[in-house]
Amino acid sequence: MKSAWNLVGMALWLILIIYLIWMIHDMRSRRLRLLVTEKKSFSWNNFTKSAIELVIFLLAFGGMAYVTLFQDVNKLDKSAVTTTYTYKPLVLRYAERSHYVTVSNTEGRKPVQLYTYYLEGGKYEVTSNDATISYGVNPLNVSAGAYNWNKEWLKHLDVRYQKAWVGVVTTTYKKNFVNGIGLHAGRQANRYSLIRIPDKSFMKTTD
């Protein structure tokens, strides 16, 4: 478990499940009492109680489902997340020709590209959903421009590493009560890689 705060969310889901079981039992019990005592299967009083219980459950379930499964990290207050930027030089690969990154196409209904690159001590693979390749004069392209990079530092990296580096921006949920409700405390929310190469000739494309 990334953080003990996530126990808050687990406890709330458990309470919601217990409430659902109690609600079904209560609805059934009241209907049986109605059949036995008043010899009828419907009354407005019983219907109103059941409707209120159901509305409470649906509101609680909807709220918990949203914060747990559908919460958009981009819409959260900056105080809810921590964003870090890391940079490392790329390692040149020698095959048919020298290259820094290999681009492969995947198959399926929604094909994406797979980017493979090497850093000192390891091989890394990311998809075009979570990364972009930048080459040319400007280290930032349209996709990477959505993040708050230090542009002056990127220019420094271009000089230092001859335009061959990778920058990774990682967004992590802070360990607090609010993030614990959605079971996100301490967990990674987003990771995006900016792969910088001198020009397109340093990118190897496979079929």
Query: Do the beta carbons of residue 191 and residue 168 sit within 8 Å?
Result: yes
Q: Tell me how far apart the alpha carbons of residues 121 and 89 are, in angstroms, rounded to a whole number.
A: 11
- Look at the pTM and tell me if it is higher than 0.95: no
Q: Averaged in consecutive runs of 10 residues, what is the pLDDT profile of the chain (207 residues)? A: 90 98 96 87 91 97 94 82 96 85 87 94 93 94 93 96 97 94 94 96 87
Residue 104: the pLDDT is: 93
Residue 207: the pLDDT is: 66
Which CA distances in Å does 104 have to 1, 59, 89?
Answer: 35, 45, 21
Q: Tell me how far apart the alpha carbons of residues 181 and 150 are, in angstroms, rounded to a whole number.
A: 33
Residue 96: the pLDDT is: 67
Residue 1: the pLDDT is: 63
